[in-house]
Amino acid sequence: MPSYNINMKLLFVHDGEKLKEDNQGTYYTDGSYNQKVWDRYLDIFEDVSVIFRKDPKIYDPEYAKSKFEFFDKERINFIEIPTLSTSISSFLSINQRVKMERVIKDSVIQCNYLIVRLPSHAGNIAVKYAKKYKKPYLIEVVGCPWDSLWNHSLKGKALAPGALFSLRKTVKDAPFVIYVTNEFLQNRYPNSGKNIGCSDVTLTEFDDGIIKKRLDKINQFSNQQNLVIGTTAAVDVKYKGQQYIIEALSFLRKQGITNIEYQLVGGGNKKYLETISKQLGVEEQVKFLGTLQHRQVFEWLDQLDVYVQPSRQEGLPRALVEAMSRGLPAFGAKTGGIPELVEDEYIFSNTKDYINEICRIITSLNKDVMITQALRNFEESKKYDKQIIEKHRSNFLYDFFESGKKETS
């Protein structure tokens, strides 16, 4: 699809991402920002700039190619903002905060349109200046700050009410909003403008061979084998919840159930989860696989028996939808959009009973159940067909574009 107007500049803002660079000057992003994501904006806006933080580490080219997504700096302009959260000193640094504000302000002034992903500190600043300079803006609501802060720490609990109120106010007044859920985020952060529920997850492959392969794998499963459960998420973010599955493994081990292996895919420092695994005596059952490229994730999913999304904070989790598209039986926490994807029987609560509930789900997974869930999840994942979702999103982005032209004419 050709660009609608090559003279219209789009600024995209999100400080949840860090741009990565190798020693040859090539840029990369994590899997949530791949070329398919950028194409949805480049189809409408020829001139696209993004505001991200930057990873200070310089990567080996071969490692970066195998782990990250290529970022085409010939087509997209990168604008760096300082990182404020790596230490108390940098967070409190007035110079860093002033620099961030100035960079975002100048970038908003120079753009014609603004798209921000929230929650993000940089996004909030960008919206403030979009209003001040009357720039057309659109918000993508991709997560819940209440859940992420409340489940982070005591300090997080103190900050959660303010973050909840702030995002509600910002979203309420926005002229255009895209939610990644169908119900959860809309109910918690309602909007009085134009809005749609449109997942950031898009799938392209629904070959019946996938589900046939999955059913064959389930039918060949033996009680003498390990039941392999997996999660895709950063391993150093506590609200991702991998520790809850590790606790459940320990509980089951005390009951003599030891044939369960838990595989974790995701970047970050694994020390916290490793320590828990050792303390609970299940370190041999927990395998850390590190970061995988997007295509490698699908290959890994095909080797699993069950997928679990134990997060205490989510929008609509891409990893869970992708697992379902491989015919994987799945379960998850009663968080964000997870209950929109998984049947009630396979949802565990975020209360003190969660370990018992996780154990109940795991021990209920016989062949008949797994076959039923494999078929159900494969069909459910078809709702995220790329052609359907991207057409819906593209029409909404085009309405945003047209509305902005009227405002600036």
- The answer to whether the beta carbons of residues 147 and 313 sit under 8 Å apart is yes
Residue 86 confidence (pLDDT): 47
Residue 233 confidence (pLDDT): 93
H-helix or E-strand spanning residue 337: none
Question: Helix 294-301 to helix 318-325 angle, to the nearest 10 degrees?
Answer: 50
Residue 294 confidence (pLDDT): 78
Cis peptide before 61 (omega within 30 of 0): no
Residue 92 confidence (pLDDT): 54
H-helix or E-strand spanning residue 29: strand 27-29
Residue 388 confidence (pLDDT): 83
What is the pLDDT averaged over residues 345-374? 95
pLDDT one-digit tens code per residue, 259-304: 999 999 998 999 999 999 999 999 999 999 998 887 899 999 999 9
Cα–Cα distance between 374 and 325 in angstroms, integer? 9
Residue 178 confidence (pLDDT): 96
Q: What percent of the chain has pLDDT over 70?
A: 94
Give the Å distances, CA to CA, from 44 to 71, 139, 145, 379, 398: 18, 17, 30, 32, 7
- The answer to whether the beta carbons of residues 234 and 240 sit under 8 Å apart is yes
Cα–Cα distance between 189 and 146 in angstroms, integer? 11
- The answer to whether the beta carbons of residues 176 and 194 sit under 8 Å apart is yes
- The answer to whether the beta carbons of residues 265 and 274 sit under 8 Å apart is no
Task: Give all domains of the chain, ordered by start, each with its CATH number.
Answer: 5-202+385-401 (3.40.50.2000), 208-384 (3.40.50.2000)
Residue 117 confidence (pLDDT): 95
What is the pLDDT averaged over residues 403-408? 73
Residue 123 confidence (pLDDT): 95
Structure tokens at 386: 């790329």
pLDDT one-digit tens code per residue, 172-190: 999 999 998 888 899 999 9
What is the pLDDT averaged over residues 223-239? 91
Listed range (6-20, 81-95, 118-132) with the worst mean pLDDT: 81-95
Q: What is the DSSP string of 203-265?
A: B----HHHHHHHHHHHHT--TTS-EEEEEES-TT-GGG-HHHHHHHHHHHHHTT---EEEEEE
Residue 227 predicted with pLDDT over 70: yes
More confident residue, 231 or 238: 231
Residue 85 confidence (pLDDT): 53
Residue 76 predicted with pLDDT over 90: yes
pLDDT one-digit tens code per residue, 320-335: 999 999 999 999 999 9
Cα–Cα distance between 137 and 186 in angstroms, integer? 18
Listed range (87-91, 158-162, 205-209, 387-391) with the worst mean pLDDT: 87-91
What is the pLDDT averaged over residues 149-158? 79
**pLDDT band (50, 70, 90) for residue 87:** very low
Nearest to 59 by CA among 291, 300, 274: 291
The alpha carbon of 266 is separated from its chain's Cα centroid by a whole number of angstroms, namely 12
The chain-wide mean pLDDT, for the chain, equals 90
Structure tokens at 399: 């309405």
Nearest to 275 by CA among 288, 289, 290, 260: 288
- The answer to whether the beta carbons of residues 305 and 323 sit under 8 Å apart is no
Sequence letter at residue 355: I
